[in-house]
Amino acid sequence: MASIADFAAAQKPIYHQERPSKTGLLDWLTTVDHKKIGILYGGAGLFWLLVGGLEALLFRIQLAKPDQHIFVGDTFNGLVTMHATTMVFLAVMPMIAGFSNYFVPLMIGARDVAFPRMNAFSWWTFFAGSLTINASLLFCGAFPAAGWTGYAPLTTKDFGGTPIDFWWAGLTLLAVSSMVAGVNFVVTILNLRAPGMTLMRVPVLTWMMLVIQFLLAFSFPPVAVGLILLAFDRTFGTVFYSTGMGGDPHLWQHLFWLFGHPEVYVLILPSMGIVSEILPVFTRRPLFGHHAVIFSGVFIGFVGFGVWGHHMFTAGMGPIADAAFASTTAIVAIPTGVKIFNWLGTLWNSKMTFPTAMLFAVSFIPMFTLGGLSGMMHASPPLDLQQHDTYFVVAHFHYVLVGGALQGLFAGFYFYMPKISGKLLNETLGKIHFWVFLAGFNITFFPMHLLGNHGMPRRIYTYPADAGWNTENLIATSGVFLMTFATLTFVYNLITSLKNGKDAGSDPWDANTLEWMTSSPPPVHNFDFTPVVLSERPLWDHKYTPGFEIPVPEKAEEIHMPSPSWKPMWVSASAGVIIVGLLTFNGIAGIPGWPLCIVGAIGVVLSVYAWVTEPV
């Protein structure tokens, strides 16, 4: 039996150009290393996860009892809006981007992404966007309060205050970041695979990442257009969303949901991928129906572009459109079912062990199933007319996004952190995290099904005592405290493990895929030699299948790693200047801000010129 210790004996590659491995602040600012950018994304995602959780805690306290006056009116609406905006765009998406950045190149045996500087540009643009959205609290003392869906005309100048400007500005930057990242990773996954890694040998997680990169690249443009029209309305006084001039509020809804539904799959598919990576490792057998799981993910991605209208059943598109969207939406149940059955098939006849990563991965299955099944109800317009915009929907998407996406990401943290830090997370704390979180999450969100059934609409800041919603609301709020405790346990575990954790070694889980053959944390160049891939489970077969050992070349490889660069940050900063110019276009205190747009545009041109002529 071969051992992965063999790889350590391989010749260190010869650098054509030394990439400094400093870890000072300067290095983090100029880094183009996919692993460092991944850590930046993941760290930012965790930070915003805590912020978004705090926002939820605050408004759940307001809702714990009827007729309370702690956060009322637009303060409450702002908390709700920012909770959703933060969780979707600033917590879950960057955590996904973190895993994608760190592990996609490692899983496909590449040295970095296809365009490392563009990758840094994505990160800095995301960073600028995340600050911009939240800056409204600093400059206006209020959060945007039109809901994360920002339905026009509530967002127009007539009805939405200045915080909305920060909202569109931030989201526009995030859209640019995501589209660029999408293009970059599509190329990376398609073109930078190691020799022998045919598409069917690409790990399922990387496959799901490929699907979502297409979704990012193709679904963000519609919402970008919607946001640009909104920005024009608010800044220049165009009339896109003004019904008095013939405008139609449905335009925003179509553009938003044409992005919004693929976005839902952007949030869930990576977690499905993580679960599909973790189950085989801890069941010690291959993923059951490996190809079916991949194809169903691709299918979900395609169908995702044809179902947006199911968010608009109550909007009055007419029965024909409703029927079409109801049918396409129902189809989504089929590939989703295929995935669930295959995961169950993987568990069957296996020999399971249950470290925390596996606990989160298996609990994903029933929790996601519950969320999926309530989703089937919403696909039925006669039923959705009752459930739309109620707490039943809130329960549904939290089962999918917390029980599904977030649990999958937690599983990912326990599974992959040892590769990133070289240290294992504490299992006792991990198990406390898992059980308390599972309990808290169900106590919070299960009663919301009942609240919806009993007629409670979402996004209301108060409710009368005689509406029959008191008990469930109190239960739901109590669950949030458990989730908060669990998440803080996790963060504590994460931080202390960096110092006190047990050494992980390169392959702590006896895993299947290429990322586990290099050291933990991996060197700057990822692999000492480019691995040749002979099967779906290259590392497993290397260890357990005679004749499938990954060959170690005798000669050292010559490599060239790109140097650190300031240019990505310059371009992001110039784009940020354009945005500030638009925000202050008509002037603050008599000083017009529009010249900043010109300054920013010139900055973009100059820094792009510097970028393309920079030696790498």
Partner 1 sequence: MSAHAENLTHDDAHGHDGHGALAENNFLGLPNIKLAMWAFLGSECMFFGSLIGTYFFYHGNSLSGPLPKDVFSIGITSISTFLLLMSSVTMALAVDSMKQQKPSTARNFILATALLGATFVGFQVLEFHEFYTEKHLVFAGPNASLFGSTFYTMTGFHGTHVTVGVIWLVIMSILIQKKKLVPGKEAVNVEVMGLYWHFVDIVWIVIFTFVYLLEFLK
Partner 2 sequence: MSNAFRSFRHRLTALAALALPLMLAACDEAHPRDAYAHPAGDASEISAWFYNLYLILDTIIFVGVVIAFFAAIIKFRKKPGDNTLPEQNWGDSRLEIAWTIVPTLVVLGITVPTLGGLFELAKRPDQNQKIIEIDVVGKQWWWELDYKKEGINTGNEMHVEVGTQVMLHLTSADVIHAWWVPRLSGKRDATPGRNYPLNFRPKEVGSFDGQCAELCGASHALMGIRIIVHPKDGPDSYESWVKHMQEGAAKAATPEQEAGQKVFMNKGCVACHTINGVAELAPGSRSRTSGPNLTHVGSRDFIAAHTLKNTPENIARWVKNPQEVKPGALMSNLGLSDQEAKDVAAFLSNLK
Rule CB under 8 A: choose which of 15, 139, 236, 354 binds partner 2: 354
The site for partner 2, by CB under 8 A, has a size of 102
Contact 526, 518 (CB under 8 A): yes
Site for partner 2 in 48-87 (CB under 8 A): 72-74, 76-77
Kindly name the residue from 339, 378, 388, 396 that is annotated as catalytic. 339
> Which is catalytic among the residues 36, 60, 111, 261?
261
Contact (Cβ atoms closer than 8 angstroms) between residue 219 and residue 182: no
Q: How far is the CB of 205 from partner 1 (least distance, A)?
A: 18
- With CB under 8 A as the contact rule, the residue among 47, 232, 302, 341 that binds partner 2 is 341
Let me know: does 334 contact 303? Beta carbons within 8 Å: no
Told to check if 547 binds partner 2 by CB under 8 A, we report no
Q: What is the Cα–Cα distance from 431 to 418, expressed in whole angstroms?
A: 17
Q: Is 199 a binder of partner 2 (CB under 8 A)?
A: no
How many CA atoms lie within 13 Å of 583's alpha carbon, on the beta-carbon side?
A: 25
The span from the CA of 466 to the CA of 435, in Å, is 35
Marked catalytic residue, from 31, 206, 336, 374: 336
Q: CB nearer to partner 1: give 443 or 533.
A: 533
3 state SS for 261-297: HHHHHHHHHHHHHHHHHHHHHHHCCCCCCHHHHHHHH
Smaller CB separation from partner 2, 247 or 418: 247
Which one of residues 53, 447, 562, 581 is an interface residue with partner 2 (CB under 8 A)? 447
Is 248 a binding residue for partner 2 by CB under 8 A? The answer is: yes
Smallest separation, CB 470 to partner 1 (Å): 44
Catalytic residue among 284, 285, 431, 458: 458
Query: Token digits for 534?
Result: 């002979």
261 assigned to active site: yes
Q: Kindly state the DSSP code that residue 15 receives in the 8-state scheme.
A: E
Does 103 participate in binding partner 2 (rule CB under 8 A)? no
560 counts as catalytic:
no
Query: Choosing from 41, 123, 148, 241, which is the catalytic residue?
Result: 148
Q: Rule CB under 8 A: which residues touch partner 1?
A: 108-117, 179, 182-184, 186-187, 190-198, 217-222, 224-226, 228-229, 232, 236-240, 244-248, 251, 254-255, 258, 530, 532, 534-535, 547-548, 551, 559-562, 605, 609, 612-614, 616
Closest approach, Cβ 153 to partner 1, in A, equals: 14
Whole-angstrom distance, CA of residue 32 vs CA of residue 40: 11
Buried b (16+ CB within 10 A) or exposed e, 505-536: ebbbbebbbbbbbbbbbbebbbbbbbbebbbb
Active site residue 83: yes
Active-site residue flag, 363: no
253 contacts 151 by C-beta, under 8 angstroms: yes
Burial pattern 86-99, b for ≥16 Cβ within 10 A else e, equals bbbbbbbbbbbbbb
Under the binding rule (CB under 8 A), the answer on residue 267 touching partner 2 is no
CA distance 190 to 608: 26
Q: Of the residues 83, 111, 433, 542, which is catalytic? A: 83
Question: Binding of partner 2 at residue 544 (CB under 8 A)?
Answer: yes
Contacts of 508 (CB under 8 A, 6+ apart): 418, 424, 520
- Residue 421 or 565 having the CB closest to partner 1: 565
Q: Which of 84, 106, 365, 582 binds partner 2 (CB under 8 A)?
A: 365
Q: Tell me which of partner 2, partner 1, none is bound by residue 613, counting a contact when its beta carbon lies within the kind-specific cut-off of 5 to 8 angstroms.
A: partner 1
Give min distance, CB of 143 to partner 1, in A.
Answer: 27
Active site residue 21: no
The answer to whether 520 touches 418, Cβ cutoff 8 Å, is: yes
Amino acid sitting at position 493: N
* 521: contact with partner 2 by CB under 8 A: no
Residues 6+ apart with CB under 8 A from 147: 77, 80, 81, 84, 154, 459
* 558 catalytically annotated: no
Catalytic, out of 193, 311, 449, 543: 311
Residues 203 to 242 in contact with partner 2, rule: CB under 8 A: none
Q: Name which position in 438, 448, 494, 511 contacts partner 2 (CB under 8 A).
A: 438
**What ranges in 108-162 are assigned the alpha helix state H?**
116-140
Question: If binding is defined by CB under 8 A, does position 322 make contact with partner 2?
Answer: yes
Which one of partner 1, partner 2, none is in contact with 517 (Cβ closer than 5 to 8 A by kind)? none
Clarify whether 263 is annotated catalytic.
Answer: yes
Among 162, 453, 496, 530, binds partner 2 (CB under 8 A): 453
Q: Is 339 a catalytic residue?
A: yes
Positions in 138-167 near partner 2 (CB under 8 A): 145-147, 151, 153-154, 158-159
Alpha-carbon distance of 462 to 266, in angstroms, equals 33
Among 64, 377, 429, 491, binds partner 2 (CB under 8 A): 377
**Of partner 2, partner 1, none, which one does residue 463 interact with (CB within 5 to 8 Å by kind)?**
partner 2
Instruction: Return the one option of partner 1, partner 2, none that residue 113 interacts with (CB less than 5 to 8 A, by type).
Output: partner 1
CA distance 173 to 224: 9
- Does position 330 interact with partner 2 (CB under 8 A)? The reply is yes
Most distant CA pair in the chain: distance in Å? 79
Rounded to the nearest 10 degrees, how much is the dihedral formed by the CA atoms of 591, 592, 593, 598?
-130
Q: Nearest to residue 401, comparing CAs of 367, 357, 433?
A: 367
Q: How many CB atoms lie within 10 A of CB 429?
A: 17
Cα radius of gyration (the chain)? 24
When CB distances are held under 5 to 8 angstroms depending on the partner's kind, the choice from partner 2, partner 1, none that residue 410 binds is none
CA 393 to chain centre: 20
Catalytic residue, candidates 30, 81, 100, 177: 177
Q: Could you say which of 41, 102, 207, 265 is catalytic?
A: 265
**Residue 327 within binding range of partner 2, rule CB under 8 A:** yes
Q: Catalytic: 177?
A: yes
* Structure token digits, residue 19: 């990439």
Nearer Cβ to partner 1 (108/272): 108
**Catalytically active residues, by annotation:** 83, 112, 148, 177-178, 261, 263, 265, 276, 310-311, 336, 339, 458
